[in-house]
Amino acid sequence: MKISNITPIVTMPIDGLPWLFVKVETDDGYYGFGECTDYSVNLHLFNGIKSLRSMIIGMDASNIENIWQTIFHSYDDLNGRGYVSHLISAIDIALWDIKGKVLNTPIYNLLGGAVRDRVPLYTHVQDFNSDKRDKKFLGGAAREVPLHNNDQDYNSDQGRLESLAKAAKETKNAGYDAIKTDPFPSSINGYSGPSEVERLTPKLLRLSLEWMQTLREAVGDDYELMVDAHARFDVASAIAAGKQLEDINLTWLEEPIHVENHNALRQVKENINVPICIGERHFTRWDYTEIFANRLAEYVMPDVAWCGGISELRRIAAQAEVNYIRISPHDALGPVSIAAGFQVCMTTPNLYRQECLHTWFKTFEKIINPMFTIENGAILPNNLPGLGLDLNIDEVKKYEVDPENNQYLNITDNDQNAANQWIN
């Protein structure tokens, strides 16, 4: 069963959210789908997937681990973590999809079988910086959740909080038991590069606390809430934010500082009384080895489309298990990514929840068949082979975009001004 073709495609059924899917085909007619969406860097990944053709076309598609290791070590001069692990992820997911189809069984059965009958989800409401014009300029696709409809009401402090409370109650009533948000106003202004390491002023801290108090009041004391800082802050700001949010009773504070310095993260962790979650910007088991050895987090959230695919997510989950740390796969990407993460979650003992953006599910229905079965805020297995879904290629092609043209991201100066208006 030789790999005969690899095809990347970028499609954008939701404005500003281009998803990068990869189709891997074999010489005996089987095919599988993978994903390595990463929005503003899709062009690099698109070209990287094409560059793999000469390396792996002709290899036996059933030898998933051999292909994983071949790509990883062939590109070791680029460092296998990050760019390379993204490329591996798409191929790895597609190969597991093929293997499940060949053996006529869901992937989780090939990973040891189910340890649960469903995978619980957590979802999002709008972040403080969300706006109808907000399209990725601050990083993190979770910022693109426009749940408010009345601009006049929304364009006031009270209107924003009322919109947040309404969205939270609707999400809770829809059956979801946990919500994440980024409550921190952006301080980026002027020269954007140096200011990417953001500082929280007393005013910004006050606004973020009001955001979380409103959210807590809307859902009640027993509801699970997470805060995502999107790896934005300096150490002092992260500590101040963590301390002021202690009374909100968070499940976790996610990525309070930039991820490059473990000593800085340790300083934050030792000075706040809130569990820490990190991981979407960490890749492969080699990154996680140090995280676990140094006890830097209580939760980890690798992304199956970035960390090295199904093969690597399973290994990271096993590392976390022996450290009594729960895993919660990151997902702010397309439906193939969620389907791949679901397969690992079904067989992972130390799962917390899988991330989703439930407001995207209606769009997923257009481009995959069948759509996930969602019940009471969880995905149920459908017992179909492989990933349990196919891409509707005709629909995907309707929304295809050229990754050479970054205009599809809709990043403009007006977008940045929209975020800044609330802090000036």
Q: What tens digit of pLDDT does each residue of 358-400 get?
A: 999 999 999 999 999 999 999 999 999 999 999 999 999 999 9
Q: Which residues contact 299 (CB under 8 A, 6 or more apart)?
A: 251, 252, 275, 276, 277, 279, 325, 326, 327, 328, 352
CATH class of 3-110+395-409: alpha beta
Spatial separation of the C-alpha atoms in residues 225 and 415, rounded to whole Å: 27
Q: What tens digit of pLDDT does each residue of 7-31 get?
A: 999 999 998 899 999 999 999 999 9
Instruction: Report whether pLDDT(217) > 90.
Output: yes
Q: pLDDT exceeding 90 applies to what percent of the chain?
A: 84
Q: pLDDT exceeding 70 applies to what percent of the chain?
A: 89
Spatial separation of the C-alpha atoms in residues 20 and 314, rounded to whole Å: 22
Please give the full DSSP string across 309-330, using - where no structure is assigned. HHHHHHHHHHHHHHTT-EE---
Spatial separation of the C-alpha atoms in residues 55 and 368, rounded to whole Å: 29
Spatial separation of the C-alpha atoms in residues 418 and 408, rounded to whole Å: 19
Confidence of residue 154 (pLDDT cuts 50, 70, 90): low
Please give the full DSSP string across 384-402, using - where no structure is assigned. -SBTS-EE-HHHHHHTB--
Q: What tens digit of pLDDT does each residue of 271-317 get?
A: 999 999 999 999 999 999 999 999 999 999 999 999 999 999 999 99
Q: What tens digit of pLDDT does each residue of 321-339 get?
A: 999 999 999 999 999 999 9
Instruction: Report whether pLDDT(155) > 50.
Output: yes
Confidence of residue 139 (pLDDT cuts 50, 70, 90): very low
Task: Indicate the domain borders of the chain.
Answer: 3-110+395-409, 119-385+414-418
* pTM for this model (two decimals): 0.92
Q: What is the mean pLDDT of residues 245-263?
A: 97
Instruction: Report whether pLDDT(405) > 90.
Output: no
Instruction: Report whether pLDDT(260) > 70.
Output: yes
Among candidate residues 289, 286, 350, the one with its CA nearest the CA of residue 317? 350
Q: What is the mean pLDDT of residues 259-263?
A: 95
Tokens matching residue 103: 């053996």
Helix (H) or strand (E) holding 300: strand 299-300
Instruction: Report whether pLDDT(145) > 70.
Output: no
CATH class of 119-385+414-418: alpha beta
Torsion of CA 119, 383, 38, 151, to 10 degrees: -60
Q: What is the mean pLDDT of residues 51-78?
A: 97
Q: Are 99 and 62 in contact (CB under 8 A)?
A: yes
Q: Are 391 and 172 in contact (CB under 8 A)?
A: no
Q: What is the mean pLDDT of residues 58-70?
A: 98
Q: What tens digit of pLDDT does each residue of 338-350 get?
A: 999 999 999 999 9
Average pLDDT, rounded, for the chain: 91
Instruction: Report whether pLDDT(149) > 80.
Output: no
